[in-house]
Structure 1
Amino acid sequence: MTRHTEERAEQLRAGLADGLEASGQLTDPTWRKVFETVPRHPFVPEFWTLAGEGPRRVTSADPDWLDLVYTDDALATQLTDRVATSSSTAPGLMLAMLQALDVADGHRVLEIATGTGYNAALLSERLGSHQVVTVEVDPVLARLADSRLRRSGYTPLVHAGDGREGYPGRAPYDRLIATCGFSTVPAAWLEQVRPAGLIVCPLGWGTVRLVVADDGRAEGRFLPAPSHFMTVRDAGTTGTPAHPGRPEATSGRLTGLDLAAVAEDEAFRFVLSLVAPDTAFAFERAEDGSVTAVELWAADGAWARTEDGKARQAGPRLLWDAVEAAHELYVEHDRPGRERFGVTVTDQGQRTWLDTPARPVPVAAKTA
């Protein structure tokens, strides 16, 4: 890496920090100093941009590599069957989550999903490497991250394993942060985070901030900003449910729900991610851009497709029923933002609620 490149990277880091601060995303001066100190480019020597007609591979030999690294964008860093299975999170979202983590000197942090190692580097710069443990399911990615961290001067404990199990060897932790998507918070985490500790975790299409209580229960609300993370997965898989094709519908009926309300309202799709967890969905459009069909499917075999005012469903959950119930809840409560929703987690399970724990949000029911 030439001196000119390093100087250019330093300028770009400062410029990105200026932009994030001006937009209100970067509010903590301590994190600003960390953000300006830790370079991102050593952790993403190559990546893929996913906009446009298809993935475009970018390497350090490309003239726009460094400029793309220091934009407020997520960068796909691993593709499996042309599906992105690891990435470097957009800096603005990363900072929002780190600031919500509310770390202090002396805190021990467990990170779930090491990815490139950049986020672990930020935590190590802030707290000291000896205070950071990071877990990555993909052993190849874990080795790469560990190597890049060490070359950058950071030595957190990098463990190749299933982040859903945490890392009990260094527990208890004061803070836990996850950078891959979940539908439920693993019970093992509640055992490994000390009382009054915090968990910041992507859940559905949002990020929840939970406080662990003395009795092991964890409860808290969602952050207001959108977040879209790759789903937690086993090594060698994509984490995305396979499309079932077009199964024979076991339920068919008319629906009056406007498809555009499902496809184009991002805030509603967050609600949908809560009531129909572990579900993928796709939209079909006419030449004029109007939505002509909505299709949903899940790993458990549930499937639904709606077009021409008619809904068809199959499998163990009635997904379109869940869509309609979610939209009714959404409209009835004045289209609530993420911050009005919360989650309570115990060793017995998880419950999502609106405004207060006394108002649970129903999830898609299984068919008889």
Structure 2
Amino acid sequence: MTLLDTGATRALRAALAQQLTDQGDIQSDAWRRVVEDVPRHPFVPLFYRQVGADWEEVTPRHPEYLDAVYSNRALTTQVTDGTPTSSSSEPGLMLQMLEALDVTEDHRVCEIATGTGYNAALLSARVGSKNVVTVEVDTNLAQAAQERLAQCGYKPTVHAGDGRQGHTAGAPYDRLIATCGFSTLPYAWVQQMRPDGILVCPLGWGNARLTVQRDGTASGRFLPGGSCFMSVREEGSSGGVPYPGTPSAPQERATQIDPALLTDEGVQFLLSVALPDVIGASEQDGNGSLTGHRLWSRDGSWAHASEGRVKQSGPTRLWDAVENAQAWYVSHGMPQRGRFGVTVTPTGQTIWLDSPDNPAPAIRGAESRKA
């Protein structure tokens, strides 16, 4: 390798490959060799860490730079107006998804969200650059990633555009992987896949693995592990929904659940698919104990639960939906992430439990309960 690849950096990524193997994130010799061969530091020439309300830039001059780059950590690589807008994902999570993709050397792969280019480099090393297409909404990020990839000897097709549309010029694909967060899997991707092709995509706080059927649908289960990615966004946008502040004259009532339940991993996953595009924020006291929870969404809906009371406003009663989803979760034995699945058709997306024949009613109805 070039670009200041040294014995020290090779040793660091060999150690990272060993760690990911020991954890079970790497399950095959092929992907272990790729992690050992592909350097991460050329794709992360700097990163940011949060210090209080500010973001501090960490460059190769920093004594902790290389150890951080070759750790199993997600690293924020772009901050826009104080909001993170790009990152290099946690390597362990990346390898879980790449293993689930089940690629072979002749597969044609589309990646959504190029980011730094590191994941595209891993794919290129595994299946060959000519078989990889990667799509990035941020034109500057796409250009920088293409340059880094070329410096490291990889030449996949890098396309600057809206990843939700896929990339028809490179279709059909055998595999598709997304590395930014979605609430709904775009049907355009299904249309660009070969039958029996596999898609791996973050949906809510989970990663869904779907197989494309010959009837033009795609269906599959969520992987057991969790997932947390920056949301898909428009170019020039942070992808976030700013907190609206307390609305005037909200409705108030006693809450039927303790806001602390929202810290349960199973509940968090369920709500992430039950209430897509809803933002949540916990409140804590000086001792770190949970005191309340706020929810808000792009449509102007808002809720605040604290001290046994909840205030709500907007077209969707968000806390009602939380209570419905939590009650359904408990009544169904608190099912964990791996029992859920998703089916995507031309008309929409359905979340189900155990079987596509068993759609989850609380999830399906969560957004429709109005005041």
Coarse TM-score class (shorter-chain normalised)? over 0.9
1:287 equivalent in alignment to 2:290: no
Match of 2:76 in 1: 76
> What is the alpha-carbon distance in structure 2 between the residues aligned to residue 201 and residue 51 of structure 1?
31
Match of 1:339 in 2: 338
Match of 2:252 in 1: 252
Pairing 1:80-91 to 2, within 5 Å after superposition: 80-91=80-91
Match of 1:364 in 2: 367
Match of 2:297 in 1: 298
- Opposite residue 367 of structure 2, the aligned amino acid is A
Residues 302 and 3 (structure 1 numbering): CA distance in 2 closer, same or farther, change over 3 Å? Answer: closer
Gaps of 5+ in 1: none
> What is the alpha-carbon distance in structure 2 between the residues aligned to residue 313 and residue 341 of structure 1?
29
1:203 equivalent in alignment to 2:206: no
- What is the Cα deviation at residue 53 of structure 1? 6.2
- Opposite residue 364 of structure 1, the aligned amino acid is E
**What does the per-residue CA deviation read over 1:242-287, in whole Å, with 9 as the maximum and x for residues that have no partner?**
211111355322113111111x212211111111110111111122
- Opposite residue 69 of structure 2, the aligned amino acid is V
CA contact (8 A) 2:252 2:310 kept: yes
Pairing 1:249-328 to 2, within 5 Å after superposition: 249-262=249-262, 264-328=263-327
Output the aligned Cα RMSD.
Answer: 1.7
- What is the Cα deviation at residue 176 of structure 1? 0.4
**What does the per-residue CA deviation read over 1:308-336, in whole Å, with 9 as the maximum and x for residues that have no partner?**
21111111211101111111122222222
- What is the Cα deviation at residue 56 of structure 1? 2.6
- What is the Cα deviation at residue 356 of structure 1? 1.7
Residues 249 and 101 (structure 1 numbering): CA distance in 2 closer, same or farther, change over 3 Å? Answer: farther
- Opposite residue 306 of structure 2, the aligned amino acid is E
How many residue pairs align between the two structures?
367
SS of the residue aligned with 2:225? coil
SS of the residue aligned with 1:155? coil
- What is the Cα deviation at residue 186 of structure 1? 0.6
- Opposite residue 323 of structure 1, the aligned amino acid is V
Higher mean displacement: 145-154 or 312-321:
312-321
> What is the alpha-carbon distance in structure 2 between the residues aligned to residue 51 and residue 94 of structure 1?
26
> What is the alpha-carbon distance in structure 2 between the residues aligned to residue 238 and residue 253 of structure 1?
34
**What does the per-residue CA deviation read over 1:83-102, in whole Å, with 9 as the maximum and x for residues that have no partner?**
11100010000000000000
> What is the alpha-carbon distance in structure 2 between the residues aligned to residue 245 and residue 195 of structure 1?
47
- What is the Cα deviation at residue 57 of structure 1? 1.4
CA contact (8 A) 1:249 1:313 kept: no
Higher mean displacement: 150-159 or 283-292:
283-292
CA contact (8 A) 2:342 2:351 kept: yes
SS of the residue aligned with 1:219? strand
> What is the alpha-carbon distance in structure 1 between the residues aligned to residue 54 and residue 17 of structure 2?
29
Residues 105 and 269 (structure 1 numbering): CA distance in 2 closer, same or farther, change over 3 Å? Answer: same
- Opposite residue 25 of structure 1, the aligned amino acid is D
Residues 25 and 352 (structure 1 numbering): CA distance in 2 closer, same or farther, change over 3 Å? Answer: same
Match of 1:150 in 2: 150
Residues 249 and 226 (structure 1 numbering): CA distance in 2 closer, same or farther, change over 3 Å? Answer: farther
> What is the alpha-carbon distance in structure 2 between the residues aligned to residue 195 and residue 3 of structure 1?
40
CA contact (8 A) 2:204 2:269 kept: yes
CA contact (8 A) 2:2 2:152 kept: no
SS of the residue aligned with 1:257? coil
Residues 289 and 89 (structure 1 numbering): CA distance in 2 closer, same or farther, change over 3 Å? Answer: same
Match of 1:240 in 2: 240
Higher mean displacement: 166-175 or 15-24:
15-24
- What is the Cα deviation at residue 64 of structure 1? 1.4
> What is the alpha-carbon distance in structure 2 between the residues aligned to residue 359 and residue 95 of structure 1?
30
**What does the per-residue CA deviation read over 1:164-208, in whole Å, with 9 as the maximum and x for residues that have no partner?**
000000111000000000000111111101110011000001110
Match of 1:98 in 2: 98
> What is the alpha-carbon distance in structure 1 between the residues aligned to residue 3 and residue 327 of structure 2?
58
- Opposite residue 71 of structure 2, the aligned amino acid is T
**What does the per-residue CA deviation read over 1:119-158, in whole Å, with 9 as the maximum and x for residues that have no partner?**
0000000111000000000000000000000000000000
> What is the alpha-carbon distance in structure 2 between the residues aligned to residue 2 and residue 273 of structure 1?
42
> What is the alpha-carbon distance in structure 2 between the residues aligned to residue 356 and residue 233 of structure 1?
31
Runs of 4+ in 1 over 3 A off after TM superposition: 1-5, 50-54
- What is the Cα deviation at residue 288 of structure 1? 2.8
Give the TM-score taking structure 1 as reference length.
0.96
> What is the alpha-carbon distance in structure 1 between the residues aligned to residue 256 and residue 302 of structure 2?
19
Residues 50 and 211 (structure 1 numbering): CA distance in 2 closer, same or farther, change over 3 Å? Answer: farther
> What is the alpha-carbon distance in structure 2 between the residues aligned to residue 344 and residue 300 of structure 1?
25
- Opposite residue 331 of structure 1, the aligned amino acid is V
SS of the residue aligned with 1:223? strand
